[in-house]
Structure 1
Amino acid sequence: MTLRARHAIECAEVIVGYDTYLELIRDLLPGKTTIGTGMMQEVDRCQAAVEQAMDGKQVAVISSGDPGVYGMAGLVLELVAKYPLPVQPEVSVVPGISAVGAAASILGAPLMHDFAVISLSDLLTPWEVIQKRVEMAAAGDFVIAIYNPKSTRRTTQIETVREIVLQHRGAETPVGIVQHASRPKEKMTISTLDKFTSEHIDMFSLVIIGNSQTYVVDGKMVTPRGYQL
């Protein structure tokens, strides 16, 4: 969490978010009104936040990581835009630390060159589109960061990603897996492209697949930028 994000939460009268994320900031919530919802109720909770703001309240809608990276910032802006300009509440998007940035720092420096960020969740994006994006990123030799890599329902998609990328880069390509980045249960594993799916991977994991130049030194992933040493 950035200092600016913490300040925004401390100054807000109403805090709105996914129940799991509210629990993560429980120490910041005393004395505040909280509106929490479960998974798949994103529109409902963001609409509730906008309505609270329309009533003159100072509201913070929280997301894990950065609200503009697979977070709620876009949805809030879309909902606010449905109101006429004279009464629209003012919206500020406060940056946080994205999971891809946090995980990269734990693994070393895997994002020193061009990279692509892809979510494997097919709730809002067709799986065929996701596969195409993986294929194009692999063909372009991008480092690939994978959000939502595996759930209890989605168990085979990460295997498909491995097979696609293996068509474009070597089996020994480093792959980093970080669970609970920047949280108390943080854990980091570095594997290889041919073997990484045998490691524990879940929805609290972020996977970073190196490009053709990525290597491991002293237990850290490094993707060289091209500087002459």
Structure 2
Amino acid sequence: MTGRLVIAGLGPGADALVTPEVSAALAEATDVIGYTPYVARVAERPGLVRHPSGNRVEMDRSQHALALAAEGRRVVVVSSGDPGVFAMAAAVFEAVEAGPDHWRALDIRVLPGITAMLAAAARAGAPLGHDFCAINLSDNLKPRALVEKRLRLAVEADFAMAFYNPRSASRPEGFERTLSLLSGLCRDDRPVIFARAVSTPDEEIRVVPLSRCRADMADMRTVVIVGSSATRIIERDGPPIVYTPRSAPA
């Protein structure tokens, strides 16, 4: 049997948002590897071995997957959302670059998924309708000073911004600092979307002006989208529509 490694995105949570391409890869897999909550989303079946592991062991997980594929197994490494957005695809390729030469000859494929910021944006309207950026607010793999530099430059460039990993239980002060920085640089009425657990039964979408944002509105299951200076809100019966026009003034 010829081994292969697929790095797949399971989407934001709902089974309906897993692509047919990813479902087909999972149906052919002999092994599924990933963070425990994501592996739990893959149903058990005969012939499939599931390898759950904890958070922050991405390199160990990647090396394990590559070693199994080199033995001839059909391995799928799963991430939530899209595997190339703050997820496992980069970790696997870091392991390939640092690993033995024969790993470079493996059949490795990346299968995209619906990343959380796109699912959240769709729920709210079209807040990413013009230029935007995504920033991981976690300082686990980069210094806090770099996070804040990128925030300042993104505001200066007037991007809409999508924030991943905004507020962890161990470092709640990081998001407080983010809100304080934004408050000093942006108008108080800048629209902010807090989208938690999108497409799951726990989904919650809140749209508030920057002046009313609190750090405890976010956790690690929340994507936060901050509009640009041009982002608009259409009030109506029911949830408002948030969108950023396709053009920018000269």
For the 8 Å contact 2:176–2:215, the answer to whether it is kept is no
Q: Is the 8 A contact 2:179 2:215 kept in 1?
A: no
Q: Report the identity percentage.
A: 34
> 1:165 offset after TM fit, Å?
2.0
TM-score, normalised via structure 1 length: 0.93
1:7-156 matches, cutoff 5 A: 7-25=24-42, 27=43, 29-31=44-46, 32-81=48-97, 82-85=99-102, 88-156=105-173
Structure 1 window deviating more from structure 2 (161-170 vs 128-137): it is 161-170
Structure 1 residue 167, shift from structure 2 partner: 2.9
How many angstroms apart in 2 are the aligned matches of 1:39 and 1:14? 19
CA displacement, residues 148-184 of structure 1 (integer Å, 9 cap, x when unaligned) = 0001112122222222222332101110010011222
Specify the alignment match of 1:201 in structure 2. 218
Structure 1 SS opposite 2:230: coil
Mapped contact 2:231–2:242 kept (Cα < 8 A): yes
- Indicate the SS of the match to 1:160: helix
Say how many residue pairs are matched. Answer: 226
Give the gaps of 5 or more residues in structure 1.
none
Mark the runs of 5 or more structure 2 residues left unpaired by the alignment: 1-17
- Give me the TM-score of the superposition, normalised by structure 2: 0.85
RMSD: 1.8
> 1:199: Cα distance to partner?
5.5
- Give the letter aligned to residue 182 of structure 2: V
* Separation (CA, whole Å) in 2 of partners of 1:168 and 1:121: 21
Who is 1:192 aligned against? 209
SS at 2:162's partner residue?
Answer: strand
For the residues of structure 2 that align with 1:86 and 1:180, how far apart are their CA atoms? 36
Deviation per CA, 1:13-35: give whole Å up to 9, x if none. 1100000111223x3x3221111
